[in-house]
Structure 1
Amino acid sequence: MLNWVANGAIVLGAAGLIYAQWNLARLLRELPESRVRTGWLLMFVLIPIFTLGYLGFIPLNWGLYHSIPDLLVPIIFLLGGSFVCSVVLLTYSSVESIRRITRLEHESITDPLTGLFNRRHMDRRLDEEVARSRRYGQPLSVVMLDIDEFKGINDRLGHLAGDYILESIAQRLRQNLRRVDLAARFGGEEFVVIAPHTDQDAALQLAEKLRSEIAQTPIILKGHEHVPPCAPDELYVTVSVGVASLNIEPDSRDNADFLLQRADDALYRAKAGGRNRCESGPSRASLVAAS
């Protein structure tokens, strides 16, 4: 009877190792290349060796269990297999939980259509950048873009084609911004770029670069599933752009809301001036003089 109990414990321990091996394979698929993954890969190689050792122990010690103390080693085998299995399962569960949390955090700050940051995250980051600019006396600018005649495009081609155009514009922004810049969908067909360490002249150059890139590069409509057959093969769209820079003088009451309002005012002037152009808000010097 004790032989069956002892060997059953060893078999259960080996089963735990086999189950751990299966889950470890799933874990390795989730982990990026790193020292941690290398460590788990070593474990992946060792577990089959231990499993063979468990199973090889059974015939070598068959019939040697005559008293309760003789069950100590089989029980250790059982606990060892259970421990390895538990560690692998907990690690895999933790990795999956971290991935879910990361995905939820990403979704909470990202516009689902364009993949850019959303308005809420942009507002929070702009407040942070304004505070940082004031603390260290560094320039900060905002670039606001609006797609020209977007309502007409939606009416002619449909809203799904309009969504595709928004995605295309967002991709152009990502391709032409610096690593320190932050692009967000402000709402509708409007986008905002936060440009740290950038004065108004440099921001205006950035705005002109974005405007020119968008205006000169067609959006390919041919073959897109959501574009009606009557649509042209390619479509040129333009944007109007407003630029504003933060007044970081000590006596200035400039904040994120004022900065966005000035960029919006400049955007309105660009629209009123004929579209497909850039306008800037008051310079720092004029703001200081006005105050």
Structure 2
Amino acid sequence: MDTEPKSDWQERTTQQLVRYEALFKLLDDIQQTEDIQQIARLVATHWKYFANVACWRMVIPNGKGFRVIDGFRGEAYLAEVDNLHPWDAYHLAAQMPIQVKRSEILDNPRLPDHLEGNVISEILVLPFIRLGHCTSLLTVAARRDPFNDLDTRFIRIFGSHFSERLSTIQLRQQAMEALLHKATRDALTGLLNRGAIIEHLGMQLARARAEERPLSVVLADIDFFKVINDSNGHLAGDQVLCEVARRLRAHTLAGDSLGRYGGEEFLFVLYPCTEDAAANAAEQFRRLIAETPITLRRTPPQNIIVTLSLGTSNTDGRSDVRLEELLERADNALYRSKASGRNRVATG
């Protein structure tokens, strides 16, 4: 009479050991990569081996927006969003874990679509809190049967490690991006700095040669910038630099690049771009600055007229022109536009 209960106990123990093994293997696997897409795919395909999970969603605050990872049918889907689904927004704000039968969930807030369905029996919501801040929100749906105690325990264990892993990777990525930004961006204007824009020009020039397509550069210089500084102060000069940079950046086409070349000079890398197209673009940049006064933030506000002188140079992509030659020709053209009265474009 003792044989059957012992057999049942052994079977349950064996099943638990198998599930523990699957859990620890997945925990180990997600530590082996920092590719969030790959981690999400591993979770989507292996979670079912140690818990009754039909589908899930992980939400991670990411700067001003959110990273949303959905897993269902063995696939993982990543998205960057500015605004959360009502379900996620509600539970991220509440920061309270809940476990509720599907039939008891009201429509406000409604579930995300992939967590709906007749086969879904129960929903578990787990916010993960660090130092009073919700670092991520996990919603998990059970298939057919509600979660048992072991399911819940495993989901909590894995969810905590999953959340920690993604948050750690994201923080590291943000730190690397901040370092890269600091190394390549001008602190005042936010444009590419001199080193970064020249490096980009070198890469685009190599690309132009490989593809035999035209490339152009435009050098722009703020006219009488020293007078602006001397007459209005260096803070006003900084405002002028920032506003000129803002306007130029807003009208730089996708694929083209803009950097602060030095002082009050800006360098455009236009690719692909012919000589005539570069001259037309430079004229548009000139008018963009000259035709609208810049308002200095002071009491009372003061409008000043600012103009640019610009010089262009070009390669057809078939000649073996050097980067230094392109810049020198553009600089010579800029000098001619200055010598001819400023607020104009010259080609080199």
TM-score w.r.t. structure 1 length? 0.69
1:49 matched to which residue of 2? Answer: 99
- Within the candidate set 299, 304, 328, 1:261 is matched to 328
Q: CA RMSD in A?
A: 3.3
- Within the candidate set 86, 97, 101, 2:161 is matched to 86
More strand by share: 2
Q: Distance in 2 between matches of 1:167 and 1:211?
A: 16
Could you say if the C-alpha distance between residues 74 and 203 of structure 1 is closer, same or farther in structure 2, counting changes exceeding 3 Å? closer
- Within the candidate set 89, 92, 108, 2:183 is matched to 108
- 1:196-221 Cα shifts (integer Å, max 9, x gaps): 11111110111111111111111012
Corresponding position: 1:182 with 2:257: yes
- 1:84-137 Cα shifts (integer Å, max 9, x gaps): 322222222222222222222223221121111111111111111111111111
- 1:137-159 Cα shifts (integer Å, max 9, x gaps): 10000000000000111111111
Is the 1:246–1:255 Cα contact (8 Å) retained in structure 2?
A: no
Q: Distance in 2 between matches of 1:233 and 1:98?
A: 42
- 1:152-204 Cα shifts (integer Å, max 9, x gaps): 11111111111110010011112222112111000100001111111111101
Corresponding position: 1:233 with 2:302: yes
Could you say if the C-alpha distance between residues 199 and 74 of structure 1 is closer, same or farther in structure 2, counting changes exceeding 3 Å? closer
Structure 1: tracts of 5 or more residues without a match: 1-25, 55-72, 282-291
- 1:53-111 Cα shifts (integer Å, max 9, x gaps): 99xxxxxxxxxxxxxxxxxx989976653333222222222222222222222232211
* Aligned pairs (5 A) from 1:152-167: 152-167=227-242
* Aligned pairs (5 A) from 1:54-203: 81-203=156-278
TM-score w.r.t. structure 2 length? 0.59
Q: Distance in 1 between matches of 2:155 and 2:221?
A: 63
2:6 matched to which residue of 1? Answer: none
- Letter in structure 2 aligned against 1:97: R
Q: How many residues align?
A: 230
Q: Distance in 2 between matches of 1:115 and 1:198?
A: 24
More helix by share: 1
Is the 2:60–2:167 Cα contact (8 Å) retained in structure 1?
A: no
Give the 3-state SS of the residue equivalent to 1:125 in structure 2: helix
Larger radius of gyration: 1
- Within the candidate set 238, 249, 271, 2:338 is matched to 271
Q: Distance in 1 between matches of 2:253 and 2:236?
A: 28
1:213 matched to which residue of 2? Answer: 288
Give the 3-state SS of the residue equivalent to 1:179 in structure 2: coil
Question: After the TM superposition, which of the residue ranges 26-35 and 131-140 deviates more from structure 2?
Answer: 26-35
Q: Distance in 1 between matches of 2:186 and 2:59?
A: 30
- Letter in structure 2 aligned against 1:236: I
Q: Distance in 2 between matches of 1:87 and 1:176?
A: 42
Greater relative contact order structure (CA < 8 Å, 6+ sep) = 1
**1:32 Cα shift?**
3.5
Q: Distance in 2 between matches of 1:186 and 1:266?
A: 16
Give the 3-state SS of the residue equivalent to 2:156 in structure 1: helix
Give the 3-state SS of the residue equivalent to 1:144 in structure 2: strand
Is the 2:59–2:67 Cα contact (8 Å) retained in structure 1?
A: no
Q: Distance in 2 between matches of 1:199 and 1:164?
A: 33
- 1:5-42 Cα shifts (integer Å, max 9, x gaps): xxxxxxxxxxxxxxxxxxxxx9533324564469995x
Structure 2: tracts of 5 or more residues without a match: 1-57, 70-76, 101-121, 125-147
Could you say if the C-alpha distance between residues 81 and 246 of structure 1 is closer, same or farther in structure 2, counting changes exceeding 3 Å? same
Deviating above 6 A after TM superposition, structure 1's stretches of 4 or more consecutive aligned residues are: 37-40, 73-77
- Letter in structure 1 aligned against 2:61: R
Give the 3-state SS of the residue equivalent to 2:60 in structure 1: helix
Is the 2:274–2:316 Cα contact (8 Å) retained in structure 1?
A: no
**1:272 Cα shift?**
1.0
Identity %: 35
